């Protein structure tokens, strides 16, 4: 009986230790960013459409610095983030208004013009 109890306690301890910290938000990105229009792109660095979007996201991150947050999360590196955001296919883009409310979700490649239109609309409060 003692062995069984020790086994259960050890199993619980190991399962807690191996959970990604992002599951609790300790080390993961804070999404949406408080009081800020936020766009999060959930993808993977090795998926083709995600690779095509990477330079666009970098440009937008610089262009909207101080006005909107543009965040990329690799869901193949941290699968808990895919679950957290309900991702069914990548890339998935989620847009939040400055109050933290999800206002738009898109699956697949999204070009710079489309992203800018949504970010500008959200910044204007529409």
From 33, 50, 53, 57, the catalytic residue? 50
What band does 29 get if pLDDT is binned at 50, 70 and 90?
Answer: confident
Strands 92-96 and 68-74: unpaired
Identify whether 3 is a catalytic site residue.
no
Terminal alpha carbon distance of the chain: 64
CATH number at residue 96: 3.40.30.10
Residues spanned by the domain of 112: 28-123
- Does residue 10 register a pLDDT over 80? no
From 23, 47, 54, 123, the catalytic residue? 47
Number of domains in the chain: 1
- Tens digits of per-residue pLDDT, 65-106? 999 999 999 999 999 999 999 999 999 999 999 999 999 999
Determine, yes or no, domain membership for 15. no
Identify whether 47 is a catalytic site residue.
yes
Determine, yes or no, domain membership for 10. no
Determine, yes or no, domain membership for 3. no
pTM for this predicted structure: 0.77
Contact status, residue 85 vs residue 92, Cβ threshold 8 Å:
yes
Determine, yes or no, domain membership for 8. no
The DSSP bridge partners found for residue 105 are: 94
Determine, yes or no, domain membership for 7. no
- Distance in angstroms (rounded) separating the CA atoms of residues 123 and 23: 29
């Amino acid at each position: 009986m003692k062995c069984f109890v020790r086994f259960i306690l050890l199993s619980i301890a190991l399962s807690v230790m191996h959970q990604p910290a992002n599951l609790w938000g300790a080390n993961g990105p804070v999404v949406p960013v408080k009081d800020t229009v936020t766009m999060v792109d959930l993808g993977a660095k090795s998926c083709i459409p995600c690779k095509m979007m990477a330079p666009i996201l970098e440009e937008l991150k610089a262009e909207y610095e101080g006005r909107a947050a543009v965040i990329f999360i690799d869901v193949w590196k941290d699968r808990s983030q895919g679950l957290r955001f309900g991702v069914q296919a990548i890339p998935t883009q989620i847009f939040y208004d400055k109050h933290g409310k999800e206002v738009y979700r898109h699956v697949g490649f999204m070009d710079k013009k489309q992203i800018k239109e949504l970010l500008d609309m959200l910044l204007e409060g529409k």
